[in-house]
Amino acid sequence: MQRVDGYRLRALRWRMLLLAALAVVAGAAAALWSVEPVSGTPSSCLYSGGGQAFRIDSFEGDLERELHLQTQVLAATNRLFPTDEEFALPALKVGSERRESSNATLPTQLLHAIGWIESSNTQAHKDVPYGKIGPALITFDCGYGIMQVTSTIDNDGGLPSRYEALVGSHFAYNIAAGAGILAEKWNEDYFPVVGESDPDFIESWYFALWAYNGWAWINHPGNQIYDPGRRPYDCDPDQSDWFEYPYQEKVLGCVLNPPFVNGQRLWEPHPVVLPDIPSLTVPGGALDPDLFWRRLDQVRERMSLPLPLQALPAAFSEGGSNPDRAALLGSPEAGEVARELELSSDELTQRGARLTIRNVGSGLLAWRVIDAPSWLEVGVQAGVALGSGYDFAPGRQDSVIPISAAAGGVPEGSHRGEIVLELHYPDGEPERLSIAISLDKRGAAFYEAGRPQS
């Protein structure tokens, strides 16, 4: 079944609006106003590295999003990758003194709602069916996957780092990265706070959510494009009011009014007390638009808000407070990989060669290319191979790396090199494999040295 959802297109449009606003503030040229959904990998990532987006394959979860929702529960409570320096949840600054607490956790509903607003809680491109492997979701502004991880990815034109490869290819690492970014926004001492920085209250995350999408005028609740008397955002399928709310209020609206899939809410609603915009945006108020522009050096002092008296601490969502981590991540195991490829001129220039990665275990086996000869082009730089364990998936699926000649062509003669892969596991050290590549070629177009370099 091919996935078709309008949320992704609306998310793209919203990001375009945000980027255009940022470009105006920065004095940059606004040249990204197409509203058509992307059909593949973006040609350039102007705001994150400047190069082309990485070529990454990913796996799409189930229609009901249970795989992703349960993973978000683990990420919110730092039970996903607690010992991984790149993907563990940072300790949160809590209380009036803002002291770090390793026991503090995120409200699970926030990760559910962010994932829905950003991507409809999907990891792969919209053309990839549920339970299948295909190109990762990468939006026009180079946001990756479920949580639309953008600012921590450096699209520099080379090969992806471990962090970049896992964020783009594996749903669990993507969710963990998004949770980490939200926690870092919460911990940033520049941004305003609500009450005494108690993370158990959804309302306390208002400014961190704002910053997650961009600390920009487009997300100011007093922006003139928004009705000051607006009702809470509703996560219904229509979404006709998508442009009538700042980002953080869309997220909080989805906490209050979760979306339906197949007639069922994806998670249980939680009451949220939103700021009283009309009273707070008056001259001198905490959310006075003039103060936002004129007092950027006093954001915390000027804009912080009290915790509403009616606020209730968040409870775990319907996804359950104790998901089975082993079942969600599985125990991937690499099958036999060809250790040597002999390429013919015809294979390289016409059909291309293919390197197959198989997962004979369960869950997802994540991999990335860490080195390749400059005269070869690897069509996919990172991805996942599907094993057993996911009942909604049709069965095991191999990951395939297309190999072809680099843009400049290959000169006549004999060529020897190797492709080096790195295999990643949820627990344990990564594994490296070297695949010898040999080619004897005659009569080829001359190779332009160094173009491109992998």
| 119: Cβ contacts below 8 Å, ≥ 6 apart | 7, 8, 11, 137, 145, 146, 147, 148
Answer yes or no: is pLDDT of 127 > 60: yes
Looking at per-residue pLDDT, the higher value among 199 and 238 belongs to 199
Longest dimension (CA), the chain: 79
Query: In this structure, are residues 183 and 89 in contact, taking their beta carbons and an 8 Å threshold?
Result: yes
Question: Token digits for 260?
Answer: 């339906």
How large is the average pLDDT for residues 408-435? Answer: 90
Tokens at 269, concatenated: 């609603």
Greater pLDDT, 405 or 262: 262
Residue 191 · residue 299 · CB < 8 Å: yes
Question: Which of 224-228, 419-423, 437-441 has the least mean pLDDT?
Answer: 437-441
Residue 392 has pLDDT above 50, yes or no: yes
pLDDT of amino acid 57: 98
pTM over 0.85: yes
**Kind and range of the H or E element at 356?**
strand 353-357
Domains and CATH numbers, the chain: 6-303 (no CATH), 330-441 (2.60.40.10)
d(CA 175, CA 450): 37
Tokens found for residue 284? 């001198």
In order, the DSSP letters of 32-70 are ----SPP-SS-S--TTTTSSPPP-BEEE---TT-HHHHH
Run of H or E including 421: strand 413-424
For 352-369, what is the mean pLDDT?
95
Contacts of 420 (CB under 8 A, 6+ apart): 369, 370, 371, 372, 432, 433, 434, 435
Mean pLDDT score of the chain: 87
242-256, 289-303, 375-389: least confidently modelled range? 289-303
Alpha carbons 397 and 255: distance in angstroms, whole number: 35
The phi, psi pair for 359, rounded to 5°, reads -110, 110
Name the residue with higher pLDDT: 27 or 188. 188
List the Cα angle 182/185/186 in 5-degree steps: 90
- Lowest-pLDDT choice from 220-234, 298-312, 396-410: 396-410
Q: Residue 23: pLDDT above 50?
A: no
pLDDT of 20 higher than 50: no
Measured CA to CA in angstroms, residue 8 lies from 15, 157, 303 at distances of 10, 26, 32
Cβ proximity of 246 and 342 under 8 Å:
no
State how far the Cα of 298 lies from the Cα of 180, in Å rounded to an integer: 25
> How does pLDDT run across 94-120, given as a tens digit for each residue?
999 999 999 999 999 999 999 999 999
